[in-house]
Amino acid sequence: SYPNCIGNQPDTGDTTWVLLSTILVLGMMPALAFFEAGLLRSKNTLSIITQIISGIVVLTVMWQAFGFSLTFGPDQAGIIGNLDHAFLIGVSYNDCNPNAPHIPAAAYAMFMMMFANITPLLMTGAYAERVKYRSFIVLTIFWEIIVFYPVAHWIWGGGWMQKMGVLDFAGGIVIHTTAGVSGTIIAIYLGKRKGFEKYGGEFPPSNIPLAALGAALLWMGWFGFNAGSALAAGAVATSAVASTQIGGSFSGIVWIILSWLKGKPSTVAVINGVIAGLAGITPASGYINSQYSIGLGITLGLASYLSVYIMKHRLHVDDALDVGSVHGLTGMIGAIAIGFCAQKSINPAGQDGLFYGNAHLLGIQIMAVVVAAAWSGLVTIVLIVIIDKFIGLRIDDSEEEHGLDLVEHGEYAYHKISMVDNYEEPAYNHINHGVGNI
């Protein structure tokens, strides 16, 4: 059983903030679906939405059945929890989790569930338009169990990294580094989509307003993601709100300027730039001041923009929506930045960084990033090779031509601009069974 809350009762203000943050982070997942769908071709709109919405429900079932317990249950040799709290047994509505002494344990479990859910779903943008739906489900389930639960336990659940003093306020290592590295590896393994060279890797987006709406909702939800991680309403949450807005905005400014220098200021560039800044500020948002957030935001914008250019136009890696550059690299940079500019005066639960006389923190932050990246990369390689061998990972060329919406789900996102002229039910059924030509 968990200890009583401080003052024997959960703090209503803190509980309210964490519950609201939980809902905000849940909203980020359909927002991610809209963001990605708008940036993809119209024939793959529903596939990405279906992957993310179905991912939410599968991952929720896993979290309440065993995921929370493996991540935050009693520590086993610093590596993983146990099954004491399977099906949320003993997770109280009245008493507190040691990690969150002001709110009910169940509120903490629900908030952390949203982080567990969104992490593997971030990878969908890297391998979009190419992966079989059943392979997506299998990959997501096993990646969550073997990568997310252990890494989250190491850093947040009382595991070996937490005992060393590794800091990750809201998931730069646990979430963005792991998903970014894994997504990039899957994209490389799958190979390029048809037409990659024709478009220089930048396929024309189907619905930029939808992508912008998704980005706006992600931006709004990110305050729950970051400031909710304070697990209390107060000074640290306020600091996280400020850093989040500053980091995202300064990164967005960099992308606007760079895209303008290349030609014209791009809508896609500004929303990608903001997302890159939000992702990178995430691990540091509760530990650094507003001035360092400016420098970090600019650094994140420059690094992510350059990374997209190198990955797509120099290395020709078809990371469809630049997950490795916009989430993975930025998460690593933000996590390492903690080692330089974290301040105990901002967050007494943190540590001072190198700029405040503590070089040790920088060392362990770099170690944590390297280990998390290596573990997620290794597991991902093993998983995709096994999945590809037994059930196949990538759709075939003709299916890619038709689009995943039709081939995998038997639906169109936009009937009036569908690939079939003079839509008729028999023709639709004919194609839906994989024997027609479009």
Tens of pLDDT, residue by residue, the chain (438 residues): 456 666 667 899 999 999 999 999 999 999 999 999 999 999 999 999 999 999 999 999 999 999 999 999 999 999 999 999 999 999 999 988 889 999 999 999 999 999 999 999 999 999 999 999 999 999 999 999 999 999 999 999 999 999 999 999 999 999 999 999 999 999 999 999 999 999 888 899 999 999 999 999 999 999 999 999 999 999 999 999 999 999 999 999 999 999 999 999 999 999 999 999 999 999 999 999 999 999 999 999 999 999 999 999 999 999 999 999 999 999 999 999 999 999 999 999 999 999 999 999 999 999 999 999 999 999 999 999 999 999 999 999 999 999 999 999 999 898 765 544 444 444 434 434 333 333
Residue 2 is assigned to a structural domain of this protein: no
**What CATH code is carried by the domain that includes residue 35?**
1.10.3430.10
Residue 323 is assigned to a structural domain of this protein: yes
Residues 412 and 363 in one domain: no
Residues 333 and 420 in one domain: no
Residues 332 and 409 in one domain: no
Tokens of 127: 């391998």
The CA distance from 293 to 270, in Å, is 18
CB 237 within 8 Å of CB 178 = no
| Residue 422 confidence (pLDDT) | 43
Residue 214 is assigned to a structural domain of this protein: yes
Sign of the four-CA dihedral 183, 186, 188, 190: negative
Residues 223 and 359 in one domain: yes
Residue 296 is assigned to a structural domain of this protein: yes
| Residue 3 confidence (pLDDT) | 60
| Residue 4 confidence (pLDDT) | 62
Bridge partners, residue 96, by sequence:
104
Q: Total structural domains in the chain?
A: 2
CB 246 within 8 Å of CB 301 = no
Bridge partners, residue 80, by sequence:
76
Residues 323 and 426 in one domain: no
Residues 291 and 414 in one domain: no
| Residue 343 confidence (pLDDT) | 97
| Residue 215 confidence (pLDDT) | 98
Residue 249 is assigned to a structural domain of this protein: yes
CB 248 within 8 Å of CB 297 = yes
CB 99 within 8 Å of CB 72 = yes
Instruction: Characterize the bridge pairing of strands 96-97 and 100-104.
Output: antiparallel
Residues 107 and 140 in one domain: yes
Residues 290 and 326 in one domain: yes
Residue 326 is assigned to a structural domain of this protein: yes
Residues 321 and 428 in one domain: no
Residue 181 is assigned to a structural domain of this protein: yes
CB 169 within 8 Å of CB 296 = no
CB 62 within 8 Å of CB 70 = no
Residues 269 and 408 in one domain: no
End-to-end Cα distance, the chain: 60
- Host domain of residue 421: 401-432
Residue 39 is assigned to a structural domain of this protein: yes
Residues 410 and 386 in one domain: no
The CA distance from 353 to 310, in Å, is 31
Residues 229 and 80 in one domain: yes
Alpha-carbon distance values, 162 to 156, 205, 305 (Å): 6, 42, 32
Backbone angles phi, psi at 209, to 5 degrees: -60, -40
